[in-house]
Amino acid sequence: MVAELAQGGSDLIASGFLLIGLKRPQQEIYIWTVASALMMLLVASLLSIYFGWKRFLAPEPIENILIAYIALGISFISNVYAFTLSARRILRSGQSFRQLFAAFNSSSLIMTKNTFVLDLMGASAAFVGLIALILYQLLGEFRFDGLGAVAIGVVLALLSFHLLWDIKHMAGKTVVKGEL
C-alpha cells in the first residue's frame, strides 16, 4: 500500500508538471516531460523499492486487508480507464487496439504519450499489488507484501526509463503537445 501511495502521489506531481508544460511555451515541452518522467523514476519507483525491501526484510501482517483490496481495486479501475483515454488519443482513426504500441512509438503527441505511460504505470502497479495481496492471503507469507512493492517499483522504473528514452529520441523533432 505504501508503494501504491508513492506511485499515486508522484503520479499527481508528474501530472502537475505536464499541466504546467501545457501552459508554457513550446520550447519548454521537453523540460516538463522529463521532469514528469524523472518524478516517476526517482520518487515513485525508488520509494516503492525501498519500502518494499524493508517490508520484505521485516515482514508484518496486514491489519486491514479489505481496505488494501478496495484501494488497489479503485486505483486499478481508475488507471485502466485513464489508460484507455490516453490510448484513444494516440491511436489514429481506423487503427485497432492491437496497433497501440506501434502507434505509441510513432506518435508525436509527447504529453499524451507521457500521460499514457503514467496511466500504464498506475494500472500495472495496482495490478501487481493486487496479485501480491492475493498471494499473501492465500499462502500466508508476509513477504509477498514486500515483494509486491519491490515489483511495483521495478515496473515503474522500467516504464520511466522507456519514457525517458522516447523523450531523448524525440528531442529536436517537431512535437505536438497533445491534451492531458
Per the domain annotation, does 48 fall within a domain?
Answer: yes
Number of domains in the chain: 1
Q: Is residue 176 part of a domain?
A: no
pLDDT of residue 140: 85
- State phi, psi for 176 to the nearest 5 degrees: -110, 130
Q: Quick check: is 177 in a domain?
A: no
| pLDDT tens series, the chain, 180 aa | 566 666 677 777 877 887 787 777 777 777 888 888 888 888 878 888 898 898 889 988 878 889 889 988 998 999 899 999 888 888 877 788 888 888 887 777 777 777 888 888 788 888 888 898 898 889 988 888 788 788 878 877 887 888 788 777 776 665 555 544
Taking residue 121's Cβ as centre, other Cβ atoms within 10 Å add up to 27
CB 6 within 8 A of CB 39: no
Least Cα distance to 3 among 52, 63, 54, 66 occurs for 52
In a domain, 180, yes or no: no
pLDDT at position 76: 92
Return the pLDDT at 172: 61
What are the b/e assignments for 21-60, b being 16+ CB within 10 Å? beeeeeeebbebbbbbbbbbbebbbebbbbbbeebbeebe
At residue 126, the pLDDT reads 85
Does residue 179 form part of some domain? Answer: no
Residue 175, in any domain of the structure: no
Q: How many other β-carbons are positioned within 10 Å of the β-carbon of residue 107? A: 20
| Single-letter code of the amino acid located at 158 | L
CA neighbor of 34 nearest in space, from 166, 177, 176: 166
75 within domain boundaries: yes
Q: What is the pTM assigned to this prediction?
A: 0.73
Check residue 180 and give its pLDDT: 47
Identify the pLDDT of residue 108. 75
Task: List the domain range (segments joined by +) for residue 82.
Answer: 2-170
